[in-house]
Amino acid sequence: MGSYFGVFDVELDRDGFLHDYRRISPDNLPRTKARGKLWYAYLEVTTEQSWFDNQTYVDTLNPDATRRFIEITHQEYAKSLRKDFGRTLPAIFTDEPQFTHKQYFQEPFEERDLILPFTDDLPKTFLKEYGTRLGDRLPEIFWELPRAKCSVTRYRYHDHLAARFASAYADVIRKWCRENGIAMTGHMMEEPTLASQTGVLGEAMRSLRSFDIPGIDILCDHHPETNGQPVEFTTAKQAQSAARQYGRDGVMSELYSVTNWDFTFAGHKAQGDWQAALGVSVRMHHLSLVTLEGEAKRDFPASIFYQSPWYKEYKLIEDHFAGVNVAMTRGKPCVKVGVIHRVESYWTCFGPMSQTKDERADRDKEFAHLTKWLVHGLIDFDFISESLLPSQCALRKASKLQVGKMSYETVLVPGMRTIRSTTLDRLQAYANGGGTVIFAGEIPSLVDAVESDRARILAANCVRIDFSKIKIMQRLEPIREIGVYGPDGALVNEFACQISESGQDRFIFICYTNRGLAMDGNPSGVSTTVRIKGIWKVEVLDTFTGETRLLPATDKDGCTSVEHHSHPVGSLLLRLSHSKPVKVTPPKSSVFSPVWIEGVRLESPMKISLSEPNVLLLDQPFWRVGTERWRPRDWSIPHRKLVSLQTCL
């Protein structure tokens, strides 16, 4: 049941909005006539769960709990392995830290228990931070105020919880790691959407400040051309932004989990490529099984070990990414755009779902769409966390916004309901220094969740555009460094890219993200022109052969262009040197840029024998009969027919 915290008399109007509420003292409760419904609040200790070995999850809002966790884990590793810290053991991993998941009503008249994350001294630290008593205003966290009014208490609760979590968990572990000569890496829980990180983290980037190697976790093989699930560009960009702004050595990804046993080399490359284009340089494979006995046989990773007949050939994939990472971790990222992160506006609408569903969906959809527009539009950018900005950015007049180790020529303020006063202070100084601030869509009507005209006044003296792909991309076109264009001259919005500056040279990694071509029976890809600002000699670094080749290139209007045939899982690693483009013979296709030609034609079935049991069934072929057109993959062919088809090809 827990310990008593308080009782509230809550009145809702006929539409379910919070008309009035009052906290009733226990002494007055017997003599008080409720005007609405009485709601009781209790402080509960998390119940024991079998998932946690019949114990409870740790209180990640309490730094003492984290220190005790360190004593029984990190310290035990240090006793046996300290001599290897920072050497053969460069980092220690933390996996999916979170706090108790926030709950909300589906509709405001529900009468059911709800749980919010809390810790013993939260009211005390909240009072110290904001000067108000959280316990007296608790109903505002659960119910919506009338007339679309924003609850300052709700906003502050989500903000304070995120601050407590980051300082009590990630900051404490980072301190221990630094004292013991080992790097901190790993990833947070539920990073991709505004909804998911609000529910279990508050804000992902706030905790990433503590990571020596900020990380992400990519489950399954989500991409739009397979099962409709989005690629997690948002997850990767948040970690990449933190790594850049704090000058970290790279971004870690726990990848290939839940990809099943039939995950191909092409899948390994394609999933790794888009992450490499978004900054991932430390690859933590998930999973290599020691045994398939017991419960392990029900796991379904792409196990890169003896259970897979191809595991000794996996060097092909890792050599590719080693080459990409060697090139792309040199020098400094070429990034000109900063985007204010909009998670704090999502906090303001974290009320009953029936009243907030549309606003929640719109804010998350715009967050994902903007990220995808910029990534596929090859406009590299970093997210700017409002909570971290004051510690990263001095308040001074300048033509570039310096955020930690990065500086931005253009800052985009996407549609937001609230913005911090500290953010406005820095944007105002930046604009006064000649910097470009673009307000796209909704101008914040709140400052620190309080009604204010400050953002509107600043926006009136900056660039204002609609929140739409065409308006945003048109406005950012003058700062474009690279574009990939189709035969019709239009941008092909299916690529991801990263540019690094090393001295006078540049390194560019481009990957094609449209794997649908590989699935619909058209594996030929698309012919493109890669156009790069500046006059360059262009070399391709072949990550499969280790060769370096000059590419034929032309220059026009201050840009260098190269022709490239992009295949569904293809990629391109380029080195640019300041020089006139060189005319050379076009290179041959690499292993992942196949030319599809017919080899030997078998006039009749032939007998074959296997050197070992056939464990790689040809069950997803492209096929044709005689001179008919090639058919796409047919997932419905019975296995008996497939065996026959396999032996006759």
pLDDT of residue 226: 43
Give yes or no for a contact between 114 and 104, defined as CB atoms under 8 angstroms apart.
Answer: yes
Query: What does pLDDT average to over the chain?
Result: 89
Please name every residue paired with 407 in a beta bridge, in sequence order, or none if there are none: 402
Which of the four pLDDT bands, split at 50, 70 and 90, describes residue 585? Answer: low
Map out the domains of the chain as residue ranges.
337-474, 479-578, 601-649
What is the domain class of 479-578 according to CATH?
mainly beta
Residue 547 has which token pair?
A: 């060769």
- How many residues in the chain? 649
- Kindly state the DSSP code that residue 169 receives in the 8-state scheme: I
**Lowest mean pLDDT, pick from 123-132, 468-477, 566-575, 623-632:** 623-632
Tokens representing residue 91 in the block: 């980092």
CB atoms within 10 A of CB 368: 18
* Nearest of 386, 454, 449 to residue 157 by alpha carbon: 449
Band (225; pLDDT cuts 50, 70, 90): very low
Q: Cβ of 293: how many Cβ atoms within 10 Å? A: 8
| Residue 219 to residue 248: CA distance in whole angstroms | 24
What letter represents residue 52's amino acid?
Answer: F
- d(C-alpha 347, C-alpha 418), whole Å: 10
How far, in whole angstroms, is CA 528 from its chain's centroid? 28
Q: Which of 213, 220, 201, 217 is nearest to 243 (CA)?
A: 213
Question: Which amino acid does the sequence have at 67?
Answer: R
Q: What is the pLDDT of residues 331-373, one digit of tens each?
A: 899 999 999 999 999 999 999 999 999 999 999 999 999 999 9
**Mean pLDDT confidence for 491-509:** 94
pLDDT over 80 (residue 513): yes
Query: What pLDDT does residue 626 have?
Result: 77
Higher pLDDT, 412 or 606: 412
Residues facing residue 509 across a β-bridge? 498, 573
Tell me the average pLDDT across 25-40. Answer: 87
What CA–CA distance (Å, rounded) separates 367 from 144? 23
370-372-377 Cα angle (round to 5): 95
Lowest mean pLDDT among 81-90, 340-349, 377-386, 632-641: 632-641
For residue 547, pLDDT over 50 is answered with yes
Looking at the predicted structure, is the pLDDT value of residue 60 above 70? yes
State the angle between helix axes of 233-245 and 353-376 in degrees (0 to 180), rounded to the nearest 10. Answer: 70
Burial environment of residue 587 by CB neighbours within 10 A (0 to 12, 13 to 18, 19 or more)? middle
pLDDT of residue 540 exceeding 50, the answer is yes
